[in-house]
């Protein structure tokens, strides 16, 4: 990843926690914050990719982010990791709720168990991670919570109704928490990525014809990559965006 275009002095040594930081957009965020001099911790379930990311960043900078294996569907485990990070690295001042899974599914075949499992991955951890960091974040002087939505809501995409439903709820959560936490100087915003060409998307869903069609609909004829999302997240985490909360920010090249 290229060095970030802007540097934010307020992010130096700030404790940042990222869910799903081992690959895709999450890995780009871990790398971007690491290069800002932040103290980055992240969770994922892909040990190989996450450990490789840590080794690569350590080779570049002489220090590594802190990786914890955690399935975020297990709220107790997620809270335990947040507590450990807070005690070892200091209060989390930036929480990035990035992790999600957009596996396709037919609405006719969705069972109650499948519905609940998808919500336990794509929505529930955002609330409980925010709950877990809020008190220490407030005591430290405030901070920034950044939730990830999806362009699938704006485009009314089919074949993934549980994912679209969860992602539609994300901004409601953002708005509500922005109101509840604002008095403690905690800002809460939503980032909505467009069609980001991660390895997973290209392997599973997007072929050359799909990519050409997507680019045709975008105002900017570019191939969106994970590193294009990182600058927006850096800005929302930094003190430079201190008056922004309860908002939704799209990084979609003008598709949605």
- Cα–Cα distance, 229 to 238 (Å, whole number): 15
- The C-alpha angle with vertex 132 and arms to 131 and 135, in degrees rounded to 5, equals 80
Helix, coil or strand: residue 141: coil
Q: Is 8 a catalytic residue?
A: no
* DSSP string across 60-80: HHS---EEEE--TT-HHHHHH
Q: Which of 8, 67, 114, 163 is catalytic?
A: 163
**Concatenated DSSP letters of 9-44:** GGGTT-EEEEETTTSHHHHHHHHHHHHTT-EEEEEE
Give the contacts of 70 (CB within 8 A, at least 6 positions apart).
43, 44, 45, 77, 78, 81
Cα separations in angstroms, 105 against 7, 139, 162: 41, 43, 8
The angle formed by the CA atoms of residues 45, 49 and 54, to the nearest 5 degrees, is: 105
Active site residues: 163
């Amino acid at each position: 990843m290229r060095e970030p275009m802007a540097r934010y002095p307020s992010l130096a040594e700030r404790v940042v926690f990222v869910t799903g930081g081992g690959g895709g957009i999450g890995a780009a965020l871990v790398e971007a914050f690491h290069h800002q001099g932040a103290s980055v911790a992240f969770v994922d379930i892909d040990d190989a990719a996450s450990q490789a990311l840590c080794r690569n960043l350590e080779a570049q900078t002489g220090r590594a982010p802190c990786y914890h294996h955690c399935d975020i569907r297990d709220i107790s485990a997620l809270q335990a990791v947040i507590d450990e990070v807070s005690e070892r690295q200091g209060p989390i001042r930036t929480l990035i709720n990035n992790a999600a899974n957009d596996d396709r599914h037919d609405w006719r075949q969705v069972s109650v168990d499948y519905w609940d499992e998808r919500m336990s991955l794509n929505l529930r951890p955002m609330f409980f991670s925010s709950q877990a960091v809020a008190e220490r974040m407030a005591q430290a002087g405030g901070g920034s919570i950044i939730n990830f939505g999806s362009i699938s809501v704006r485009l009314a995409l089919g074949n993934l109704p549980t994912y679209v439903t969860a992602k539609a709820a994300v901004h409601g959560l953002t708005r509500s928490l922005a109101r509840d936490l604002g008095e403690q100087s905690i800002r809460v915003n939503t980032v909505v990525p467009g069609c980001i060409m991660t390895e997973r998307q290209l392997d599973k869903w997007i072929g050359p014809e799909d990519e050409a069609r997507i680019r045709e609909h975008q105002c900017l004829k570019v191939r969106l990559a994970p590193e294009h999302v990182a600058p927006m997240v850096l800005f929302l985490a930094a003190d430079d965006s201190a008056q922004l909360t309860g908002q939704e920010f799209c990084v979609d090249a003008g598709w949605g």
